[in-house]
Chains A and B, each alone.
Chain A
């Protein structure tokens, strides 16, 4: 292994790290003789970086040369950063050797756009093809589809990759045009449509012939940058919910904007990525996917943005006290899921456990219900305690929102510095 590979790895990993997705789930494949490895259905995180994010796949770029000039991207043409390109054989060897040492679940390959989208896409597909057909690599492969790539190439990519993804990045077309003049919604959504068609077509074919090839068995994902444009949470979540209606769309990722290209005045000069907002969006995303919420229940014209103080489910509950209190021993699954402090696991455990007897707060606590929140929204087998009806939504909010740790000392005169806004 040449020492140049070390430098390339460093440069190209730095360039790829702002992509959020790292899931290795969705495909279950056991070992085949003559092949390397397997794919575990739920995905395995092999390490966690110092920022707390999981490292499951070798997330790397094929090259970080790029002809586009997207304002939010570290690899944009006008940035003066070290550039490098991997050769196919280097990348393949790296993937397989890392895989054999249990460092990774597989490869997540992305790339800067060189010459034109099709040329770039073709080179990425070649890496996946080499891994699958020459080296019989049976692990996970996630390929990024380049915006504007042709249907034939996306289709070929789907035959080798487990998951494909195209990043929307900006949830609104005008903002996208302003920040990324080389891209438009058309160039993003058409590869997405090709993937969707490929998945449906392959599913149909496999009904008739079991040996028909699988197309991107782990579906597709996408990513949106949060806080780079003035878009409301409503427009972001509406778009996510529309995307989830396609059955091939497995995940929408939200990436808090990090102000890396400091010279670009089109972007807000955030001092810190909007981490709380990002977290609230993920929580809302979970409500859409696992808690049977409709997007208009979470954000609507009256409340276009998520409440940063409390989580979206609690926020919904405080706006709708008429649903509460819920009787834990009688309510059906859908209603149990609506109680703040009750998750999917505890709702299912309640369904099982109440067959054997009426449940009280002690048992609920043992099952894993967060009673700190749930107590104001439920009635149990025991004597009733004050609920949201008696305390009022504002009262519950006051009880649940932690006051700021340190109240400002009034004796101290505050000096405001221009930097300290």
Chain B
């Protein structure tokens, strides 16, 4: 069995593809540095991530594939951070390269279908973050939102959020992966914090950190949320299906539910 060992970065994956084609030898398994090797590993090739090689592979993909969704599916699936997704993407990219003619989503193929499914799941999660993030205005005028999405989708939400909230400064924080993006009115940059105060663990500001009007607006929104439901048509199952319970701790209208 041929094993490629790489650093578990996206650049590393593309470099691995580069070496596979130049060495004309395709791995049966990809492992991260420090992970134990599987049994029967006859040959282990160490992939050293290289920006130039990775760039060349990506450019080649862009030249080869006309349908842009096929490429965005790769980045979306990568951000799912699912355990076996690297090998899946390796096979998928190989199919894209080796196919003669214009490739399209062939859902009859197991790998393509799998990538397509993961892509759908991740874009669904991206949409949910855009739907359910709730900004709280802090005393210093920054809008703060925190949640814990299933997949690492914050980078995917940035185009929408920087366009929508372009004239306010905000901080969007991923509680699970412990990083976030701060937008200063011009551009969004990645931020990490050394210590984790209360609001970076629960996602909620306490009264001293809030803007003077913030509590009032939260109460207004909660009131509106209650008032707009039609009591004759209560449907808890549909409610839960559309707004999964894992988002409730971070939703203003669901506090204390």
A→B interface (CB under 8 Å): 1, 5-6, 9-10, 13-14, 16-18, 30-31, 33-38, 40, 44-55, 58-59, 94, 97-98, 100-103, 256, 258, 272-273, 275, 349, 352-357, 359, 363, 366-367
* Neighbour of A55 across the interface among B167, B216, B225, B237, CB < 8 A: B225
The answer to whether B133 touches A102 (Cβ under 8 A) is yes
- With a CB–CB cut-off of 8 A, which chain A residues contact B145? 102
Complex: chain A residue closest to B242, CB-CB: A48
* Neighbour of A101 across the interface among B135, B160, B230, CB < 8 A: B135
The answer to whether A258 touches B217 (Cβ under 8 A) is no
Complex: chain A residue closest to B233, CB-CB: A51
* Neighbour of A18 across the interface among B108, B163, B230, B239, CB < 8 A: B230
Chain A CB within 10 Å, residue with most, of B137, B166, B231: B166
* Neighbour of A6 across the interface among B219, B229, B243, CB < 8 A: B219
User: 4 additional contacts, CB 8 Å, given A47-B251, A354-B108?
Assistant: A47-B253, A54-B242, A355-B104, A356-B106
- With a CB–CB cut-off of 8 A, which chain A residues contact B234? 50-51
- With a CB–CB cut-off of 8 A, which chain A residues contact B219? 6
5 pairs from A and B in contact (CB 8 Å cutoff): A1-B220, A31-B166, A47-B132, A50-B234, A102-B135
Nearest CB on A from B127, distance (A): 7
The answer to whether B130 touches A44 (Cβ under 8 A) is yes
CA–CA, A98 to B137, complex, Å? 11
The answer to whether B230 touches A38 (Cβ under 8 A) is no
Nearest CB on B from A58, distance (A): 7
Any A CB within 8 A of the CB of B82: no
The answer to whether A9 touches B223 (Cβ under 8 A) is yes
- With a CB–CB cut-off of 8 A, which chain B residues contact A5? 220
CA–CA, A13 to B253, complex, Å? 15
- With a CB–CB cut-off of 8 A, which chain B residues contact A13? 223-224, 227-228
Any A CB within 8 A of the CB of B51: no
Which residues of B177-232 are within 8 A (CB) of A? 213, 216-217, 219-221, 223-232
Known: A6-B219, A275-B233. A46 touches B239 (CB 8 A): no
- With a CB–CB cut-off of 8 A, which chain A residues contact B253? 47
- With a CB–CB cut-off of 8 A, which chain B residues contact A36? 167
Known: A45-B242, A48-B243, A97-B217. A356 touches B131 (CB 8 A): no
CA–CA, A172 to B189, complex, Å? 58
Known: A6-B219, A100-B143, A258-B230. A367 touches B107 (CB 8 A): yes
Any A CB within 8 A of the CB of B113: yes
0 or 1 for each of B111-151: is its CB under 8 Å from A? (1 = yes): 00100000000000001001111111100000101000000
- With a CB–CB cut-off of 8 A, which chain A residues contact B34? none
- With a CB–CB cut-off of 8 A, which chain B residues contact A97? 213, 217
- With a CB–CB cut-off of 8 A, which chain A residues contact B104? 352, 355
Any A CB within 8 A of the CB of B238: yes
